[in-house]
Structure 1
Amino acid sequence: MQNLLAICFLATFIATGASLSCEVCEGIGDTCEGPLHTCPPGFDTCGIIQEEAKMGILVKMTVKTCFPASVCEEGLTVINLGKVGTTVKKVTCCVGNECMRVLPALPPIDTALNGKRCPACYSVHGLACQEEIAQCAGDEQYCFDLAGTVTVGGMTMTVIMKGCTNHAACNDTLHGSGAFAGISVVATANCTLASGTASFVPEFTGLFFQAFAGILLGKIFSRLALG
């Protein structure tokens, strides 16, 4: 009888009390603090997104939230917009107190040109943008283009963005939405091998769109700093 009660208690604990909880927050800088949230099904690890957007000035951003464990091996993602700037992002999975520490700075990206080229542009409030040619570097083997809408403070804008990127960024998304610091994004993105011979079909996780919101935030800070 006691064994039966123990088994019932354990089953109840597994069903109701074993859900993963993670700190959820977003902020400018190297860390952020927020409340614990119960993770939805399929999100089986906690983690930290570090992002750096270089758009005239360097803006560092941090997001802590629940993740599917598949993103833990994602690697460094790079989005190269040519003259507009570059953003890099990394996901670090963590458990418990490990999620409270400040992580080391992101590693430098490989800036050695690899011979690949992609159309690059960035436009807000437009149906098209004036393209230039971006020189791809490092592991940026793909051209990407993104079109969608961005909402900031109740105002919705259409946005187009093109440039070079790497496999890790392409593996983030095809369509989806995301948000960072009050900037929400709903868009469709596509990756094509820079040679133009084939397309890479990404697996959507939604992290790309948080990175994209971070790019917009970097542009806003850059404009404020430059007057």
Structure 2
Amino acid sequence: MKTLLSTCLLLAFFSPVASLICMKCLGFAKGTCYPLGTETCQADEIFCLSFKMRNPTALLFEFSLKSCAPKGICKEGNFSSTTAQDKHFQSVMKCCKTHLCNKDPIELPPPNMTSNGLRCPACLSMGTSHCQAKTMAKCVGKETRCFNGSGFAKISLAGFPLFTFQQKIAFQGCVTPTSCKFEAPVTLSTSITTISIDKFKCSNATKARFHLADSTISGSRE
């Protein structure tokens, strides 16, 4: 009896755990996420991810992604940021841990564009890892923190070699406190996209006069 029990325990311990299966899609137009079937997650990918981001000033653009994701990238919540020239970005992320649990559509809340009286140093530089703030962003809604960061994004589709997008970016501006949950460096890498945040530092937004002299950030990617 003891031998049988021991054998059952050993089998239970060493039996392979079924890998998580998630929906996969990618979209760049408002209200769309082109279905790419399902994917079997790697051992460190313990979540199914749903992510959507848009710039309310660009009415047709909306980035949507569904995929497997590791623990470090999954920070559920609604995110908002405002950077140079009052460019405003919204995003929402949801994570779940059961097969195909990310199949349902994900929606962004209505944008809150009401100024809250706070300010942050602001700049936005595409194609480089360097950004120096020369203006102040007007924070809106629940944006009570300042951010200073740089990163890299690459999107490519298997079988479509001409459809490859890659871009460095450096940025400063206002963010919601939810955005500060991410700890750089962090990378989301799937079969269709790689998003890497090299540096991301948060500080309190302020109403006081701010000197811009020391607000430069250099990313690690050159």
Q: Do Structure 1 and Structure 2 share a fold, with TM-score over 0.5? A: yes
Matched positions, count: 192
Higher CA-based Rg:
2
Cα deviations by residue, 1:145-166 (Å, 9 ceiling, x for unpaired) = 2235566889986533111101
Unaligned runs of 5+ in 2: 156-162, 209-222
Q: Does 1:135 align with 2:138?
A: yes
- Deviates most, 178-187 or 25-34: 178-187
By how many angstroms is 1:116 displaced? Answer: 0.5
Q: Report the aligned-residue RMSD.
A: 3.5
What is the aligned-residue identity percentage?
Answer: 20
Asked whether 1:44 is paired with 2:46, we answer yes
Answer yes or no: is the 8 Å Cα contact 2:83–2:122 preserved in 1: yes
Structure 1 runs of 4+ aligned residues shifted over 6 Å read 151-157
2:173 matches 1:163? yes
Deviation at 1:22, TM superposition (A): 3.0
Task: Say whether the 8 Å CA contact 1:143–1:191 is kept in structure 2.
Answer: yes
Amino acid at match of 2:174: C
Contact 1:144 1:189 in 2 (8 A): yes
Between Structure 1 and Structure 2, which shows a larger proportion of strand residues? 2
- Match in the other structure for 1:56: 58
State how 1:6-17 maps to structure 2 within 5 Å: 6-13=8-15, 16-17=16-17
- Matched residue type, 2:171: M
Summarize deviations over 1:72-109 as a string: whole Å, max 9, x none: 6x321112124352222222223334322223x21113
Instruction: Report the CA distance between 1:171 and its aligned residue.
Output: 1.1
Partner of 1:101: 104
Distance 1:71 1:148 in 2: 17
**Structure 1 residues 34, 86: closer, same or farther in 2, change over 3 A?**
farther
Cα gap change, 1:69/1:178 in structure 2, threshold over 3 Å: closer, same or farther? Answer: closer
Question: TM-score under structure 2 normalisation?
Answer: 0.67
